[in-house]
Amino acid sequence: MIDFTVRIGVFVLIFSSLIFWQWYWPRASLLQWKQRWRHNISLLMIGALCVRIIQPLLLSMVALFSHNFGLFSMLGLPFWAVFLLSILLLDCLIYWQHRLFHRVPFLWRLHRVHHSDPELDVSSAVRFHPIEILLSLCIKALAVWLFGIPFEAVLVFDILLNASAMFNHTNARLPVKIEAWVKTILVTPDMHRIHHSRLSLEANSNYGFFLSIWDALFMSKRNHALEGDENLKIGLPESKTYQPASLKEVLVMPFKTFKRSR
Ligand SMILES: [Zn+2]
């Protein structure tokens, strides 16, 4: 229960601070925010409900099978080392999971819901299809089990990941000099915008959500949009103007076949 309260508390605090940031210093004018917020917040609610049902089940399964199991417990490392390694490992896993969701056709069907947002702002950070959320949860549970990742590290990582996802979807930008420094470690809004481009080449770069080191290490980092950051077109890759008109359309997107360049 403490875990749940901390998660919600931090979420509300960071979400409202970022709304404040993008409200006073918007990067681009948001013309469709009402409809987008309706879709994105609805997805947040549906996703949260699914997680609330499935998570206790997964956790008890992991607890049941992970008794003295897991790579970390075999290595006999001190807690602080296990904690730091777990954070790095989980973030690296999320990076590769994200790359996989772009590469594998049936996973892309789910993930393209996130990319169908025609504008970006803090609410885009929660725009995920519930099936993608449940799949991510299973992948994470598997890693927790295999490596014996401690509960504290999972909680801190989840908070860091959610906070940075909200931060890098915000419709605002850091001052140029600070941004150049921050993006050597963290994924910034300028970096993540490029990942939301309608150009496939750009959408297949900057996969990180928290640390930017993985994009640098695995050579997927792109510092600027091909036609300049100001001319970047946000939306579903390989489409010109596509945007879902209703929540139902958002939810059935994975099961529809799309023609290119709509
Ligand atoms: Zn993506």
Residue-wise pLDDT tens digits, 200-255: 999 999 999 999 999 999 999 999 988 887 889 999 998 888 889 999 999 999 99
Task: Give the pLDDT band of residue 1 (cuts 50, 70, 90).
Answer: low
Task: Give the pLDDT band of residue 57 (cuts 50, 70, 90).
Answer: confident
- What mean pLDDT value characterizes the chain? 90
Close Cβ partners of 75 (under 8 Å, ≥ 6 residues apart)? none
In angstroms, what is the span from residue 209 Cα to ligand 1's centroid?
10
Provide the sign of the torsion angle of the four alpha carbons 138, 69, 213, 215, taken in this order.
negative
In angstroms, what is the span from residue 74 Cα to ligand 1's centroid?
35
In angstroms, what is the span from residue 220 Cα to ligand 1's centroid?
12
Task: Give the pLDDT band of residue 67 (cuts 50, 70, 90).
Answer: low
Residue 259 has pLDDT above 70, yes or no: no
Nearest Cα to Cα of residue 209 among 195, 228, 222, 219: 195
33, two tokens? 């925010």
Task: Compute the C-alpha angle 221/214/128, nearest 5°.
Answer: 85
Segment 38-63 shows an average pLDDT of: 85
In angstroms, what is the span from residue 10 Cα to ligand 1's centroid?
24
Segment 84-108 shows an average pLDDT of: 96
In angstroms, what is the span from residue 100 Cα to ligand 1's centroid?
10
Percent of the chain with pLDDT over 90: 61
154 or 60: whose pLDDT is higher? 154
pLDDT value of position 64: 67
207, two tokens? 């996969």
In angstroms, what is the span from residue 145 Cα to ligand 1's centroid?
26
Q: Where are the domains of the chain?
A: 2-255
In angstroms, what is the span from residue 203 Cα to ligand 1's centroid?
7
In angstroms, what is the span from residue 76 Cα to ligand 1's centroid?
36
In angstroms, what is the span from residue 54 Cα to ligand 1's centroid?
24
pLDDT value of position 2: 64
In angstroms, what is the span from residue 239 Cα to ligand 1's centroid?
15
46 or 51: whose pLDDT is higher? 46
pLDDT value of position 255: 93
In angstroms, what is the span from residue 132 Cα to ligand 1's centroid?
12
pLDDT value of position 75: 83
Nearest Cα to Cα of residue 72 among 159, 157, 143: 143
123, two tokens? 């609410």
Other CB atoms within a 10 A radius of the CB of residue 152 amount to 13
Q: Which residue has the tokens 């906070």?
A: 163
Task: Give the pLDDT band of residue 129 (cuts 50, 70, 90).
Answer: very high
Segment 140-161 shows an average pLDDT of: 89
pLDDT value of position 150: 87
106, two tokens? 């049936």
Residue type for 58, please? L
